[in-house]
Structure formats: C-alpha cells, structure tokens
Amino acid sequence: MANTHAWKFFRAGGVDQVVLASADDLKNLASLDQKLWAALACPSKGLEFDERTLTLLDTDLNGRIRPPEILAAIEWLTGALRDLGDLFQPSEELPLDSIAKDSPAGKDIHAGAKLILESLGKGKAASISLADVSSTEKIFLETKLNGDGIIPPESADDDATKKAIEDIISVLGSLPDRSTKPGVDQPKPSSIRSSCTPTGSRRGALPRCACSERGRPRPPTRSKRCARRWTTISRAADWRRSTRARWPHSTRAMESSLRSDRRC
C-alpha cells in the first residue's frame, strides 16, 4: 500500500526542503525519498546542537550521522514516548506522563526517571528536567545501589556486611563509585582468599600470608572457626619466635599441627 502522507516543502537557497513539524512527519520520514532530504550525512561535532545527543545518534561512532541512524532514533522514540509531538514543544522538562510505560523502552526510561528524582529528593515531581539528568555525581550521591559494581559500606543491609566491607577496604584499599564514595568491587573480596593463602615453602617454616606484617598473619574476615584458627597461628608465631632459640626441638609438634591447617 502506497504511503499517502502529505508533505510540505519550503524553498531556501534555491533548494526545496521538507518541513518536519508534526509527529506524523517523523513517523513517515522513512517513506520520504532520500533524494528529497537536504543532506544525507552530517558531522557529530562542531554543530550548534548538543554534542552528547549527536554522539548518541552516531551509533557506529564514525563521526558521521546518516539516514539509517536518524530513522533508528525515530523508531526508538516512537516506543519511548506516548506522542512524538512532545519533541516539538520547546521545554527543558519532560512530563513523566509523556513516557510510554507500556513498552520496554518506556518502562526503562520511566523507572530511570523515577530513580533519579528520588535520588535528588524529588520523588513526587511530575516531570524531569535536563538539569536533573546532567550531573551523574549528584544523581548517585544518595543512591544506595547505583549499578556501577562498586559497593560502599553504607550500601550494606546489615552491620556484619558493613564491617566486612570496611575490613576489606582497610586491607586491600578502596575504589570510588559513581558518587565518589569509597567501596569495593567483586575482585577485591575474591582476592582475600588468594592474598591470605599461606605461602611458606621452606621446610619447617611457619605458614605466612601475603598481607602479614612482620611475619605475623592477619586473620581474614571470614567465619568464626577460620578466625579462631588464624588467631592460633598468630599466637603460635609469637610463641615460636620466643622459644625456638632456647628449645628448638620443642616447637616441632606445634608446627606440624599448624602445617596441616594452612588452608582456611
């Protein structure tokens, strides 16, 4: 079936150009012969247009925006907004009711907008503005879990988990999350086991770990049974240093028992 949309044109610089002034114009743009487009490519930088928006339109990141990318953006917006005509309204705010919550894209946008507003203390706001979404640090400052993979102690659900995160930070250091708060990511707790695995290789050597200070093992933040075992090893280290010089044969039985418990 042939497209029956009526197009309007205006003449500028001796060239006829199509007028895009309504939601129907955008919806039917794919049917417009590209010979009638004013241009078939434009740069993603150096225009009097928001550069971040142009970068989003440039899906292949080749520095040029072409018709397939424009049409793909319109198709995405068709599922994200209830009425494409809202794009022609000169405003820095988008009403939440304008978002199409019955489509996957619209649901994600609406949920993201609500999360941002709640993080900014505007949970009851009916619209979201350009200023609200411009500062990532401000958005995620009060967000408990912001999806960046870094967990600060404040995000823990209980005191035990919070204490464990603080212990990991004190031993292995921290990483800043999106809100610049110090936290830990997945590799840090995973490295606790490897960094605290006894590495003594000399015959008769007392088990030691990579995070020891002056040869005294530091207990990892794990189960009570494991903590008691490491306490025993730590105390045995002190006992060994003070007695081995005087009674070298009396430490062999203790060291033999400790070597069997090298792994937590």
Residue ending a domain, among 188, 215, 250, is: 188
Query: H/E element holding 26?
Result: helix 23-27
Same-domain pairing of 19 and 60: yes
Answer whether residue 211 is part of any domain. yes
List pLDDT tens digits, range 7-20.
999 998 888 899 99
My answer on whether 30 and 52 are in the same domain is: yes
Q: Do residue 10 and residue 68 come from a single domain?
A: yes
- Residue 146, in any domain of the structure: no
Q: E-assigned strands of 62-208?
A: 64-65, 93-95, 127-129, 175-176, 182-183
Question: Contact 169/153 with Cβ under 8 angstroms?
Answer: yes
**59 and 4 within one domain:** yes
Same domain for 31 and 74?
Answer: yes
Structure tokens at 145: 């879990």
Q: Which pTM was predicted?
A: 0.56
Angle at 75 between CA 70 and CA 78, to 5 degrees: 125
Would you say residue 142 lies in a domain?
no
- CA–CA separation, 193 vs 220, rounded Å? 8
Instruction: Supply the DSSP symbol for 248.
Output: G
Is 2 a residue whose pLDDT tops 80? no
Backbone angles phi, psi at 5, to 5 degrees: -65, 135
- Tell me if 147 is assigned to some domain: no
26 occurs within a structural domain: yes
| Whether residue 111 is found in the same domain as residue 176 | no
Question: Rounded distance, CA 133 to CA 195, Å?
Answer: 41
Q: Which domain holds residue 158?
A: 153-188
Same domain flag for 17 and 79 = yes
Do residues 110 and 123 both lie within one domain?
yes
Q: Which residues pair with 184 in a beta bridge?
A: 151
CB 28 within 8 A of CB 18: no
For the record, the structure tokens of 77 come out as: 């917006």
For residue 190, what pLDDT is reported?
65
Q: In this structure, are 97 and 130 located in the same domain?
A: yes
Picking from 153, 165, 244, 171, the residue whose alpha carbon sits closest to that of residue 212 is: 171
Kindly report the average pLDDT of the chain as a whole number.
76
- The identity of residue 90, as a single letter, is P
2 shares its domain with 80:
yes
146 pLDDT band (50/70/90 cuts)? low
**Tokens encoding 226:** 């494991």
Q: Please, what is the end-to-end C-alpha distance for the chain in angstroms? A: 73
Tens of pLDDT, residue by residue over 91-130, are 889 999 999 999 999 999 999 899 888 888 888 999 999 8
Residue 257 confidence (pLDDT): 44
Question: What is the model's pLDDT at position 125?
Answer: 92
Residue 253: band (very low, low, confident or very high) from pLDDT cuts 50, 70, 90? very low
Helix (H) or strand (E) holding 239: helix 224-243
**Can you tell me the distance from the alpha carbon of 137 to that of 177, in angstroms, rounded to the nearest whole number?**
9
State how far the Cα of 228 lies from the Cα of 233, in Å rounded to an integer. 9
78 and 112 fall within a common domain: no
User: Is 193 contained in some domain?
Assistant: no
Residue 214 lies in a domain: yes
Please tell me the total count of domains within the chain. Answer: 4
Instruction: Taking residues 204-227, report their average pLDDT.
Output: 48
**Does 23 fall in a domain?**
yes
- The answer on 76 and 13 residing in a single domain is yes
